[in-house]
Amino acid sequence: MGYAQKKEKNYIRNTKRIITNLNYPMNRFYKTPLLIALIAVASAANAQQEQRAQTFTLEQCIEYALKNSVNMQNILIDEQIADSRIKETIGIGLPQISGTVNATNNPQLPRFFGTKQRMAGFAGVDSAHYGDFLPNLKDNDVVAAQNFFQLKNSLNASISVNQLIFNGSYLVGLKASSVYKELAQKSTRQTKEQTIEMVTKAYYGALINKERINLFQNNIARVDSLLKNTSALNTNGFAESIDVDRIQVTLNNLTTEKANFERLQVLSIEVLKAQMNYPIDQPLELTGSISSITTDVQMDNYLKDWDYKNRPDYQVLESNRKLQELNVRNKYAAGMPVLSANANLGYGKQANTFGNLFAAAPNFSEQSGVGPGKMYPYSSIGITLSVPIFSGLQRSQQLQQEKLRLIKIDNSFKMLKSGIDLQIKQAVTTYQNSIQSLDSQKKNMALADKVARVTKIKYQQGVGSNLEVVDAESSLKESQVNYYNALYNTLVAKTDLDKAFGKLLPSTN
């Protein structure tokens, strides 16, 4: 080792020793950027971990959507609003307590009006001196006296209590609030069903595209192998160049279609994310296979258990009808008497100036009903009975309107039942056709695969033509596309069938 190398090695060793062993400010200065670098590395690793794709089965996608989709969040908020409305309605029947503090200044007090004769009596003028009292006025002439019963400034503090004893509308409202909560819960079930339907269809579309991409990869590998073999035969003079070109065209088409489906798969995943309200910028992968999904349906069980009440939309309409019936009852109750009790307790004071309202009272004891200028209590207790007598026929017309709205809801039941019947027939027919088409396309795909294998073997053995191989590959690809289209249509048809019979939403939800 040369002198320069030894010198450099010693320099490095000494530098490390100084940095790590000496308690020197330089040591702290060195550790700070090192710590920052370690934090940055840890943050990058954490970010990479967060970007790692989460895997979801269909059930997990549905569970995630039911917890996070905007529609579900809003409908659950509606349930909370319904709970709050029940408590609000109950509160109407509880004591209503309010407090008031009022300080008033009257720059000009109202005068007292009366005839001369009454005013003289009020002023305490006896008959002997009556002629000297306002001598220019007649006995029935009106005079206005200053308000000497009230000072210009007053202060009052009071508390009042009102208690409803009987109100027919209140009793109807209590019942309506519970029905309103029932409506919110049934609306939640309806929204759950819609969410499950959209997520399920989006999941099937993305999963089938994933299977198609894998299938294209296998086809590309098989055709690429055939291309290499044909190229070798062409090199050795056993195949024409046009044979190589035909296979190359097939390979190019497969590669292009695979790229198209890969882009379509990205879009399918984005659609699924949107239905789940999953972060768009976070990766997501699907687990499971098409083969594990059951497409068979026991139609007899569907028909045996069928009831219109299985449908969430029918249940929602039932709750709406209950509410409308209560609206009719409420209009009847509006014509009933309302009984309530009230109590009031307060303290009041008056003064000649506004500032004296808050001044201490003179220190003397009450004598002959006259006391110091301080806050004095007052109270009242009463019962109020309000009896509607005639409203100009308004209540009658309002009642008629609510009855007509109830008839409209009954008509909606008829229309909904008719629509459900048609939806079931369409769903059953579409499902049966899809199952038949799927079975046919599955057989066609198996036959096309067999033809492609046999044609390739014959070509390799020299007893078949290249054109037959290309046609067989094209037929195989077409049969595969038809099969997966039929499979997707069948899965969608089964989803629509479950929805039509009210089986899409589990009974436990």
Using one digit for the tens of pLDDT, what is the confidence trace for 286-319?
Answer: 998 887 788 888 888 888 889 999 999 999 999 9
- In angstroms, the CA 345 to CA 323 distance is 41
pLDDT, residue 121, reads 79
pLDDT level of residue 508 (50, 70, 90 thresholds): low
Using one digit for the tens of pLDDT, what is the confidence trace for 223-254?
Answer: 999 899 889 988 988 888 998 999 999 999 99
Could you tell me the strand order of the sheet in which 153-166 lies? 96-105, 153-166, 338-351, 376-386
- In angstroms, the CA 424 to CA 503 distance is 12
Percent of the chain with pLDDT over 70: 89
Give the alpha-carbon dihedral of 332, 337, 342, 348, to 10 degrees.
Answer: 100
Ordered structural domains, the chain, with CATH? 56-90+170-325+395-500 (1.20.1600.10)
Contact 180, 82 (CB under 8 A): yes
Question: What average pLDDT does the segment 265-269 reach?
Answer: 95
pLDDT level of residue 38 (50, 70, 90 thresholds): very low
Contact 473, 194 (CB under 8 A): no
Strand pairing report for 338-351 and 153-166: antiparallel
User: How high does pLDDT run on average in the chain?
Assistant: 87
Using one digit for the tens of pLDDT, what is the confidence trace for 332-357?
Answer: 999 999 999 999 999 999 888 888 88
What is the end-to-end Cα distance of the chain in Å, rounded? 80
DSSP state of 475: H
Structure tokens at 8: 């450099």
Could you tell me which of 170, 100, 88 has the C-alpha nearest to residue 386?
Answer: 170
pLDDT, residue 298, reads 82
Has residue 88 got a pLDDT over 80?
yes
pLDDT, residue 505, reads 87
- Computed over its alpha carbons, how large is the radius of gyration of the chain? 45
Question: What average pLDDT does the segment 438-453 reach?
Answer: 95
- In angstroms, the CA 246 to CA 239 distance is 12
Q: What are phi and psi of 146, to 5 degrees?
A: -65, 150
Taken in order 140, 144, 146, 149, the sign of the CA dihedral is positive
CA 358 to chain centre: 55
DSSP state of 297: -
Could you tell me which of 482, 475, 433 has the C-alpha nearest to residue 456?
Answer: 475
Structure tokens at 420: 């459900």
Contact 247, 274 (CB under 8 A): no
pLDDT level of residue 24 (50, 70, 90 thresholds): very low
- In angstroms, the CA 281 to CA 269 distance is 11
Residue 311 burial by CB count (10 A; 0-12/13-18/19+): exposed, middle or buried?
buried
pLDDT, residue 79, reads 94
Contact 289, 211 (CB under 8 A): yes
Has residue 138 got a pLDDT over 60?
yes
Question: What average pLDDT does the segment 470-485 reach?
Answer: 93
Contact 225, 217 (CB under 8 A): no
pTM of the predicted model as reported, rounded to 2 decimal places:
0.77
Has residue 6 got a pLDDT over 70?
no
Instruction: Choose between 28 and 239: higher pLDDT.
Output: 239
